Structure 1
Amino acid sequence: MKTAGELLISEIAGFISELVPINVEQTKSQLSEIVTKYHVTQVDDEEIHPDLTEKILLFLSTKKLEGLSPSTLDGYKLDLRIFAEHVKKKAENVTAADIRVYLGKFEHLKMSTIGKKLSVLKSFFSWLAGEEIIQRDPTVKLKPPKTEKRLGKALSIEELEMLREACVTVRQRAFIEVLYATGCRLSEVHQLNISDIDFQEKSCRVVGKGNKEREVYFSYKAMYHLKKYLTAREDECEALMVTIRKPYRRLTKRGIQREVAKIAKNAGLENKVSPHVMRHTFATLTLNNGAELVAVQELLGHSNPDTTLRYARITEERKREQHKKFLVQ
């Protein structure tokens, strides 16, 4: 059986012989002297190309040093691994067509999800091109798919009260109040520890997107129910939100989502409530109550005020009030 080096020599000699007349055996002998200086490994058609794996690891290492959050890095790692499993090529040989075919395999997914996958690939290949590791970026001409920008509808004040009354345990009530009062993202609440809470100032610091830290605040109601929940706990776990069964440990993000969904079902608001809807509710009700956009932007941890504006759905009553108050007669 021929070695990988011998197969390489035969293929090269055969290719040259089709271009110009040569002594094939003599050429093979000369090529052999060159190839013996290298370790040659044949890449199986079914294997992920080692070159692409190497470039992905280099990219992820660089992004880690740039301060990307562990959850963002995990998302990049997963998407790029799946891509490498589908497109078994060297990074420099990947074409726009390869990427289109790859994304076309996910027709069952929402356009927004496909857009996120393309965004990861754009970030990866533009970085490779920028570092001059590859000569061209195959994603340059690929446009993100058009998506409908729909946000989960914010709860009304009445629905928020329904949700509160549907809480069966002090734990459930504490979860709802903390999510609503702080306006935090699910990932931000998930990583909170009890020691992060400043009970005197009714505030805590959270780490959001881009590894940016900001201060968020609790209402009197949130602080009251949070203290009741913590007093009732019998564990020594440092996490703010923990499991109800032993061994007590930090509740997963999925666990928090399930708990909120359970409360929503009890309230007759099934499929209408999630941790992100609570964040949306915080933003909408706060803005409708007269808060300044810049302040809400800071509280939500948005770097761009346009992002905050997407949450602003002013009520008809509020519009009438503003018209009456500010119209110059």
Structure 2
Amino acid sequence: MTFNLSKLQLEESRNEVIIYDETSDIAAYKQFFISLKLRGLSDRSIQLYMYNIDKFNRFIAKPFKEISTGDIRTYIAHRTLIDKIANSTLDHERGVITRFFKWLYEEDFIDSDPGKRVEKIKVKKRLLESFTQQEVELLRAACDDVKKMMVLELLLSTACRVAELVTLKMENYDVDGGKISVIGKGNKERIVFIHSRAKMFIDAYLEKFPHKFGPIICGGDGIGSQMSTSGIQKMIKTIARKAGVEKAYPHKFRRTTATDASNHGMKLIDIKELLGHSSAETTLLYIDSSKNDLKAKHEKYVY
């Protein structure tokens, strides 16, 4: 057996103290994600940021200060022509990368912002589907226990995201007022409403699983445990399969509630507030939502 050592380079072992550089790329990288956490982004959102930035950094392989607008465009071209990803995904990645470099520039880690002139990716808007009224009734009829009925009616009544639904707590539930507070995206609190049908099934569920504290919807470990988002998703798929309803998932109930409310005349600003969205800025310019009784409108428009 022969070993070729001609290219082997030996270096003297050193025990020098390495000084931590607060202005280094690693420090900047860590501080960016700390800033995202302080802004209230969820762990999942931060992980997606990290995944996309890491992927870009591996492709470009340059110090942050040396990265140019052309480098970012080259990466986007590679993702388009070689990886052939959808424009919606591509624009999301572009947004993550440009926000990262904007933050680096504003925090004085780099001298100029290479993402400032990177063009947005044109994304074709598509209509998001909602359930028909007939499909909603089929889903209701397919629920074979009180927990499934409660989950379905809570999704329709509150228009909660599935991650919000599983965190609804008894101590935040105003039974007499028919409302409950929820923490949404960006760590923002809002009030969602429980219509009479949802309340009826909550009451029936609490008779079987009585509790005054902790998650309303109990997880597999019983009272006090929280059901997982994947558990809710599997539940909806099971109900939909029995009902013969295709393309059923929790978020579709959110769209259904918004669509039904709009069809019954609820204003866009009220729907926006109900869903906890941060968009519809143009509408906010000339509609004063502070004078709206959102609870009354919920009872009138959401069934």
**Length-normalised TM-score, structure 1:** 0.71
Contact 2:79 2:90 in 1 (8 A): no
Counterpart amino acid of residue 33 in structure 2: L
Contact 2:171 2:212 in 1 (8 A): no
**Length-normalised TM-score, structure 2:** 0.76
Which protein is bigger by CA-based radius of gyration?
Answer: 1
What is the aligned partner in structure 1 of residue 275 from structure 2? 300
Q: Secondary structure at the match of 1:290?
A: coil
1:295 CA drift (Å) = 2.1
Instruction: Give ranges in structure 2 of 5+ residues lacking alignment.
Output: 1-8, 285-303
Q: Please point out which of 290, 295, 301 is paired with 2:265.
A: 290
List aligned pairs for 1:272-291, cutoff 5 A.
273-291=248-266
CA deviations 1:163-199 (Å, max 9, x no partner) are: 1111122111111110110111222213222222111
2:37 equivalent to 1:64: yes
Q: Secondary structure at the match of 1:149?
A: coil
Counterpart amino acid of residue 77 in structure 1: M
What is the aligned partner in structure 1 of residue 145 from structure 2? 169
What is the aligned partner in structure 2 of residue 242 from structure 1? 218
Q: Please point out which of 44, 47, 58 is paired with 1:74.
A: 47
Counterpart amino acid of residue 82 in structure 1: K
Q: CA RMSD in A?
A: 3.4
Contact 1:208 1:214 in 2 (8 A): yes
1:215 CA drift (Å) = 0.7
How many residues align? The count is 271
1:101 CA drift (Å) = 4.5
Contact 2:215 2:224 in 1 (8 A): no
Counterpart amino acid of residue 267 in structure 2: E
Structure 2: how far apart are the matches of 1:308 and 1:284? 17
Q: Which has the higher contact order (CA 8 A, sep 6+)?
A: 2
Contact 2:146 2:205 in 1 (8 A): yes
Structure 1: how far apart are the matches of 2:73 and 2:27? 23
Change (3 A) 1:267 1:51: farther
Structure 1: how far apart are the matches of 2:217 and 2:32? 34
What is the aligned partner in structure 2 of residue 53 from structure 1? 26
Counterpart amino acid of residue 80 in structure 1: I
Change (3 A) 1:163 1:89: same
CA deviations 1:68-113 (Å, max 9, x no partner) are: 3444333323333333344433211223344344443473543212
Structure 2: how far apart are the matches of 1:253 and 1:95? 40
Counterpart amino acid of residue 64 in structure 1: K
Q: Please point out which of 103, 120, 123 is paired with 2:99.
A: 123
**Larger CA deviation: 210-219 vs 144-153:** 144-153
CA deviations 1:125-178 (Å, max 9, x no partner) are: 001112221012222222232222224312222221111111122111111110
Instruction: Give ranges in structure 1 of 5+ residues lacking alignment.
Output: 7-35, 42-49, 310-329
What is the aligned partner in structure 2 of residue 84 from structure 1? 57
Change (3 A) 1:242 1:80: farther
Q: What fraction of aligned residue pairs are identical, expressed as a percent?
A: 30
